[in-house]
Amino acid sequence: MDFFTACVWAAGIAIGIAAFGCGIGQGMGLNGAVQGIARNPESSGKVTVTLLIGLAMIESLCIYALVVALILIYAHPQAAEIIKTVVAH
Amino acid sequence: MDFFTACVWAAGIAIGIAAFGCGIGQGMGLNGAVQGIARNPESSGKVTVTLLIGLAMIESLCIYALVVALILIYAHPQAAEIIKTVVAH
Amino acid sequence: MDFFTACVWAAGIAIGIAAFGCGIGQGMGLNGAVQGIARNPESSGKVTVTLLIGLAMIESLCIYALVVALILIYAHPQAAEIIKTVVAH
Amino acid sequence: MDFFTACVWAAGIAIGIAAFGCGIGQGMGLNGAVQGIARNPESSGKVTVTLLIGLAMIESLCIYALVVALILIYAHPQAAEIIKTVVAH
Amino acid sequence: MDFFTACVWAAGIAIGIAAFGCGIGQGMGLNGAVQGIARNPESSGKVTVTLLIGLAMIESLCIYALVVALILIYAHPQAAEIIKTVVAH
Amino acid sequence: MDFFTACVWAAGIAIGIAAFGCGIGQGMGLNGAVQGIARNPESSGKVTVTLLIGLAMIESLCIYALVVALILIYAHPQAAEIIKTVVAH
Amino acid sequence: MDFFTACVWAAGIAIGIAAFGCGIGQGMGLNGAVQGIARNPESSGKVTVTLLIGLAMIESLCIYALVVALILIYAHPQAAEIIKTVVAH
Amino acid sequence: MDFFTACVWAAGIAIGIAAFGCGIGQGMGLNGAVQGIARNPESSGKVTVTLLIGLAMIESLCIYALVVALILIYAHPQAAEIIKTVVAH
Amino acid sequence: MDFFTACVWAAGIAIGIAAFGCGIGQGMGLNGAVQGIARNPESSGKVTVTLLIGLAMIESLCIYALVVALILIYAHPQAAEIIKTVVAH
Amino acid sequence: MDFFTACVWAAGIAIGIAAFGCGIGQGMGLNGAVQGIARNPESSGKVTVTLLIGLAMIESLCIYALVVALILIYAHPQAAEIIKTVVAH
Amino acid sequence: MDFFTACVWAAGIAIGIAAFGCGIGQGMGLNGAVQGIARNPESSGKVTVTLLIGLAMIESLCIYALVVALILIYAHPQAAEIIKTVVAH
Amino acid sequence: MDFFTACVWAAGIAIGIAAFGCGIGQGMGLNGAVQGIARNPESSGKVTVTLLIGLAMIESLCIYALVVALILIYAHPQAAEIIKTVVAH
Amino acid sequence: MDFFTACVWAAGIAIGIAAFGCGIGQGMGLNGAVQGIARNPESSGKVTVTLLIGLAMIESLCIYALVVALILIYAHPQAAEIIKTVVAH
Amino acid sequence: MDFFTACVWAAGIAIGIAAFGCGIGQGMGLNGAVQGIARNPESSGKVTVTLLIGLAMIESLCIYALVVALILIYAHPQAAEIIKTVVAH
């Protein structure tokens, strides 16, 4: 049973820490973008395009963690064998 | 029983840490936006649009964690089998 | 019994950490807004509108954690079955 | 008994951490406001209004944690059943 | 006995952490205020009023934690029943 | 005996952490004040008054923690009953 | 069984911490890029190319961690032998 | 015996943490004062008076912790009864 | 079995922490580079060359950790002997 | 024996943490003083006097911790009774 | 067996922490170099030479840790004797 | 034996943490001094005198910790009695 | 056996933490040097000499830790006696 | 045996933490020195002398920790008696 318990913990912590760091990272990017646009509104289009590329890159980091979390919950390869063993006991 | 206990802990910590980081991230973006608008009120429309895009991206990170938390509480795939095992004991 | 204990801990820590981070985030936004208004009082209306949007977004992060905390205390789906098992012992 | 112990711990830590973060957040907002008013005393009215809105938002975060803490101490839904079980033992 | 032990710990930590954070928060506000007054002594009245409002708001956060700490020490609702159980053993 | 042990620990940590945070907070206020007076010695009276109000507010936070610490050492309401139980064993 | 438990924990923590750090790193790069483009929109092409090289380098760090995490979940070399041993017990 | 052990630990940690924080706080105040005097030596008298008031306030925080530490070592109210119990065993 | 468990943990943590630090380091380098190019687009070639050298150096640090992690998973020198011992038990 | 063990630990940690914090605090004061003197060598006398007062105040904080550490090692009031009990066992 | 377990842990943590710190250190050096070259492209040769010396020095720190990690995995002097003892049991 | 173990730990940690903090503190002072001398080489004599006074004060903090560490290793007052007891067992 | 385990852990952590801190320290020195050379390329020779002295001093700190780590692995004075005792058991 | 284990741990951690802090401290001093020389190459001699004094002072802090570490490994006063006791068992 410890195994599923660990999956659950690891999934929660992986997505939690990743969202923490990426949230701060996106906030730093966003801070720069809105200050930049406010200073020079004509650059708005170019800044927004670059901002979106960057935010998407950071988002991808968090999605890696989300994918790992979902694999741990739904699709761990040994899960089937282990649950049989547990039930068998 | 440890399993449900772990689900509960992991859900609480995932959403807590994610909200922590995303809250600070959104605060950094918001800080830049309001200072920018105050300096140059004419840029207000463009800044607000960019701000909303960025805040939505950061919000999405926290929602990933919320989704993982809710899966852990309501929809964990092995939960049904495990609760049977626990009851059977 | 460990289960309810864990619910209680997780609820307390989730709301505590989330409030911590969102409080700092809102403080950063607020800092920028009041400094901006003081420098340029004419921008007050636009800044306040943007500030409110941002604060509401950050508030929503904390409310996610509050919702998870309340679910853990009042509406956990396995709580009924588990309390029966505990009483039965 | 562990259950009430956990309620007590969780309540104390929830309100402690939340007050920590919100205190710093309000301090950041207040810092900006008083510096702004000192530079431009004519903006005092508008700044104070915005400051109060922001402080109230941050206060609300801490009050969420306070509410959770008080629920844990006074109004946890399973408390009645659990205390019966404890006494019965 | 663990229960009273936990009350004592939680009360001490709640007030300690809250005082930590609020102390830093008030320090940030105070820093801004005294620098502002020194630069522009004529704004002294308005700054002091705003400062007092802000310090009172931060103080209230710490008082929430103080209230929770005192409830845990003096007025926990199950304390009477629990002490009977402990004595009865 | 664990109970008195916990009182002692909690008292020590409460006053320690509170003094830590309030010391930094007062240091921030003091830093602003002395820099301000050095720049503009004529504002010395007003700055000192505001500084004293602020330091007193921060001091009060630490005194809350001191009060809780002393209550834990000298005046915990269940201490009398508990020591009887301990002696009786 | 501890072995699979450890794989799961290590995978979750590796991807979580890596995403945390790389998210902040990419945020710092993005912050510089959008501020730079806003100041000097003509440099937009060169800045974006450099930004993409840098983000790809940082992304690669996180992908190393992702690869290690996936190896731990799907392709650990001793996993087959160990699961036989576990089943055999 | 745990009781005296805890007194000793709590006394050491209380004074250690308090001295840590107050040392940094006084350092911040002192930094501001010496920089201010160097810029404007005529303000030296007023700055020194304010500095001394502030340092004394911070010192008092550390002295609270010292007092609690000494009470824990020399004058804990239950110490006499507890040592009798310990000896009696 | 503890041995393979430890390999897995150590590999995950080594790559996680290394990616964390190197990600922030590369982000600092990238931040400087894109701001520099934006200010002075003519320097773009030289800056990019220096940036690539630096990023490669930082990347190498993370690759050291990756190599250690892979050695721990695939090529630890005592692994063969130990697994025989484990199987033999 | 735990008692002397705890005295030793507490003494070491008290002086260690206190020296840590006071060292940083004195460093901050010293930084300000030497920069100030370099800018305005004529203010050297007054700055040095103020610096010495401040350093002495910070030193006193560390000496409080040193005194507590020495009391814990050499002059703890219950040490005599406890060592008799230990020997008697 | 604990011995090899500890070797593995220590190797992983040594290289992980060292890469963390050196990655940030190299990032700080790189940040300065690219900003400097962008401001003054003529200095590019001299800056790059100095940068390379510095990066090599920092790299060497990480290589010390790598060497210790590899010694712990491949060449620990007591490893041969210990594995014999383990096998002998 | 725990007693000597604790002495050793406490001595190591006391000197380690103290050297950590004092090292940073002296670094801050040194940073200010060398920058100041570079800006105004004529002030070199006065700055160096003040720097030496400050460094000596910070050094003294570390020496307090060194003294405590050496007392714990060489001159703990109960060491003789305790070692007799240990030998006697 | 715990003894060799501890040697291994301590060696890994000593070199890891030392490389961490010295890496950041060298990075700070390097950052200043390359920015300085870029601003004033004529100073390049003098700056590089000073930089090398400083980097060598910092390197020496890390080498102390490396020496201690190697002593712990290869040349601990009691290692021979202890291994005999272990083998003898 | 715990005793030698503790010596080893304490030595490793003492030198590790001390090198960490002193490395950062020397880096701060070095940063100031090279920036200062770059700005004003004529001050190079005086700055280098002051820098060397300061670095030597910081180095001494680390050497204190090194001395304590070596005493713990080679010259602990009770080591001889304790090893006899251990062998005797």
DSSP conformation letters of E38-63: HH-GGGHHHHHHHHHHHHHHHHHHHH
Instruction: Render pLDDT for E29-57 as a digit per residue (tens, 0 to 9).
Output: 999 999 999 988 888 889 999 999 999 99
Residues 6+ apart with CB under 8 A from L31: J31, N28, N29, N31, N32
Q: Check residue K87 and give its pLDDT.
A: 64
Going by pLDDT thresholds of 50, 70 and 90, the confidence category of residue A86 is low
The domain B2-83: what is its CATH number? 1.20.20.10
D56 inside 8 A of chain C by CB: no
In angstroms, the separation between the Cα of residue L7 and the nearest Cα of chain N is 9
In angstroms, the separation between the Cα of residue D57 and the nearest Cα of chain E is 11
CATH topology (fold) of A12-88: F1FO ATP Synthase (1.20.20)
N71 inside 8 A of chain M by CB: no
Q: What percent of chain E has pLDDT over 70?
A: 88
pLDDT for residue I80 is more than 80: no
On the 0-12 / 13-18 / 19+ scale of CB atoms within 10 A, I84 is: exposed
Mark yes or no for CB contact A20/B21 under 8 Å. Answer: yes
* CATH class of domain segment(s) F2-84: mainly alpha
Going by pLDDT thresholds of 50, 70 and 90, the confidence category of residue C13 is very high
- The superfamily in CATH containing domain I26-88 is F1F0 ATP synthase subunit C (1.20.20.10)
Going by pLDDT thresholds of 50, 70 and 90, the confidence category of residue A87 is low
G39 CB neighbours in chain I (<8 A) are 38-39
Mark yes or no for CB contact K72/M8 under 8 Å. Answer: yes
> Could you give the 3-state DSSP secondary structure of residue I89?
coil
pLDDT for residue L5 is more than 90: no
Report the distance separating Cα F11 and Cα H7, nearest Å: 10
C54 inside 8 A of chain B by CB: yes
E52 inside 8 A of chain D by CB: no
Q: Check residue F88 and give its pLDDT.
A: 66
Q: Check residue F43 and give its pLDDT.
A: 87
When computed from its CA atoms, the radius of gyration of chain F, rounded to whole angstroms, is 20
Instruction: Render pLDDT for J38-86 as a digit per residue (tens, 0 to 9).
Output: 988 888 889 999 999 999 999 999 999 999 999 888 877 767 777 676 6
Q: Are J32 and L32 in contact (CB under 8 A)?
A: yes
pLDDT for residue C86 is more than 90: no
Going by pLDDT thresholds of 50, 70 and 90, the confidence category of residue B8 is confident
On the 0-12 / 13-18 / 19+ scale of CB atoms within 10 A, M89 is: exposed
H27 inside 8 A of chain J by CB: yes
Report the distance separating Cα M30 and Cα I50, nearest Å: 14
Going by pLDDT thresholds of 50, 70 and 90, the confidence category of residue M1 is low
D70 inside 8 A of chain C by CB: no
Q: Are F20 and J22 in contact (CB under 8 A)?
A: no
C52 CB neighbours in chain B (<8 A) are none
Q: Check residue B9 and give its pLDDT.
A: 87
User: Which amino acid is residue D55, in one-letter code?
Assistant: L
Name which of I28, G54, A53, G20 is nearest B61 in CA terms: G20
B25 CB neighbours in chain C (<8 A) are 25
Higher per-residue confidence, I84 vs I28? I28
Going by pLDDT thresholds of 50, 70 and 90, the confidence category of residue M87 is low
Pick the CATH number of G11-88 from 3.40.50.1820, 3.60.15.10, 3.30.43.10, 1.20.20.10: 1.20.20.10
Q: Check residue A22 and give its pLDDT.
A: 94
pLDDT for residue L89 is more than 70: no
Nearest residue of chain N to residue L43 (CA atoms): N46
Q: Do chains N and G touch (3 or more CB pairs under 8 A)?
A: no
Going by pLDDT thresholds of 50, 70 and 90, the confidence category of residue N1 is low
Residues H46-63: what's their mean pLDDT? 92
Q: What percent of chain C has pLDDT over 90?
A: 51
H66 inside 8 A of chain F by CB: no
Q: Check residue G6 and give its pLDDT.
A: 84
Q: Check residue A1 and give its pLDDT.
A: 63
Residues 6+ apart with CB under 8 A from K28: I25, I28, M24, M27, M28, M30, M31
In angstroms, the separation between the Cα of residue N48 and the nearest Cα of chain L is 8
N80 CB neighbours in chain L (<8 A) are none
Going by pLDDT thresholds of 50, 70 and 90, the confidence category of residue M56 is very high
Taking residue N16's Cβ as centre, other Cβ atoms within 10 Å add up to: 32
pLDDT for residue F73 is more than 90: no
Report the distance separating Cα M23 and Cα E17, nearest Å: 33
Higher per-residue confidence, L82 vs M5? M5
**Cα D63 to Cα D14, G80, K67, N67, distances in angstroms:** 11, 53, 53, 53
Higher per-residue confidence, L6 vs B79? L6
Mean pLDDT of chain L, nearest integer: 87
Name which of A18, I75, B10, I7 is nearest G10 in CA terms: I7
Going by pLDDT thresholds of 50, 70 and 90, the confidence category of residue H89 is low
Higher per-residue confidence, N88 vs H5? H5
Q: Do chains G and D touch (3 or more CB pairs under 8 A)?
A: no
Q: Check residue L88 and give its pLDDT.
A: 66
Q: Are A10 and A73 in contact (CB under 8 A)?
A: no
Nearest CB among A20, A79, A86 relative to B17 is that of A20
G1 inside 8 A of chain A by CB: yes
Q: Check residue A59 and give its pLDDT.
A: 93
Q: Check residue H32 and give its pLDDT.
A: 92
Q: Check residue N6 and give its pLDDT.
A: 84
- D42, D51, D53, D58, best to mutate vs chain C, most C CBs in 10 Å: D58
Q: Are D15 and D40 in contact (CB under 8 A)?
A: no
Q: Are F51 and F29 in contact (CB under 8 A)?
A: yes
Q: What percent of chain D has pLDDT over 70?
A: 87
Going by pLDDT thresholds of 50, 70 and 90, the confidence category of residue D88 is low
Report the distance separating Cα L53 and Cα M37, nearest Å: 32
Mark yes or no for CB contact J21/H26 under 8 Å. Answer: no
Mark yes or no for CB contact G9/I12 under 8 Å. Answer: yes
pLDDT for residue I1 is more than 90: no
Going by pLDDT thresholds of 50, 70 and 90, the confidence category of residue G29 is very high
Report the distance separating Cα I11 and Cα K16, nearest Å: 9
L53 inside 8 A of chain N by CB: no
Residue D89's Cβ-side half-sphere holds a number of Cα atoms within 13 Å equal to 14
Residues N29-37: what's their mean pLDDT? 92
Mark yes or no for CB contact L9/N14 under 8 Å. Answer: no
Report the distance separating Cα A21 and Cα D66, nearest Å: 27
Going by pLDDT thresholds of 50, 70 and 90, the confidence category of residue H77 is confident
CATH level 2 (architecture), domain C2-88: Up-down Bundle (1.20)
When computed from its CA atoms, the radius of gyration of chain M, rounded to whole angstroms, is 20
G85 inside 8 A of chain A by CB: no
Start-to-end CA span in chain N (Å): 11
Mark yes or no for CB contact E65/D16 under 8 Å. Answer: yes
Query: So where are chain J's domains?
Result: 1-38
Residues G11-17: what's their mean pLDDT? 92
Q: Check residue E4 and give its pLDDT.
A: 79
Mean pLDDT of chain I, nearest integer: 87
Instruction: Render pLDDT for G54-64 as a digit per residue (tens, 0 to 9).
Output: 999 999 999 99
Name which of F14, F1, F28 is nearest F64 in CA terms: F14
- How many contacts does D have with E, using Cβ atoms within 8 A? 187
Residues F12-37: what's their mean pLDDT? 93
Structure tokens at N59: 């180095």
> Could you give the 3-state DSSP secondary structure of residue D75?
coil
Mark yes or no for CB contact G8/A7 under 8 Å. Answer: yes
- H2, H7, H13, H24, best to mutate vs chain J, most J CBs in 10 Å: H24
Range of lowest pLDDT (A36-50, C68-82, N25-39) = C68-82
Residues M21-45: what's their mean pLDDT? 92
**Cα D8 to Cα C9, E8, E68, G10, M83, distances in angstroms:** 9, 9, 10, 32, 50
J63 inside 8 A of chain H by CB: no
Going by pLDDT thresholds of 50, 70 and 90, the confidence category of residue L52 is very high
Q: Which residue has the tokens 């340029």?
A: C40
- C37, C53, C60, C64, best to mutate vs chain B, most B CBs in 10 Å: C64
Q: Are A22 and A61 in contact (CB under 8 A)?
A: yes
Write the secondary structure of chain M as one string of H (helix), E (strand) and C (coil): CHHHHHHHHHHHHHHHHHHHHHHHHHHHHHHHHHHHHHHCHHHHHHHHHHHHHHHHHHHHHHHHHHHHHHHHHHCCCCHHHHHHHHHHC
Report the distance separating Cα I41 and Cα I37, nearest Å: 5
K54 CB neighbours in chain M (<8 A) are 26-27, 29-30, 33-34, 51, 55
Q: What percent of chain K has pLDDT over 70?
A: 87
Mark yes or no for CB contact A57/G62 under 8 Å. Answer: no
pLDDT for residue K24 is more than 80: yes
N70 inside 8 A of chain L by CB: no
H75 inside 8 A of chain J by CB: no
Q: Check residue A5 and give its pLDDT.
A: 82
Q: Check residue N72 and give its pLDDT.
A: 87
N85 inside 8 A of chain M by CB: no
Mark yes or no for CB contact G21/I24 under 8 Å. Answer: yes
Nearest residue of chain L to residue N51 (CA atoms): L34
- N1, N7, N13, N15, best to mutate vs chain M, most M CBs in 10 Å: N15
- How many contacts does M have with N, using Cβ atoms within 8 A? 186
pLDDT for residue M8 is more than 90: no
- A17, A30, A37, best to mutate vs chain G, most G CBs in 10 Å: A17
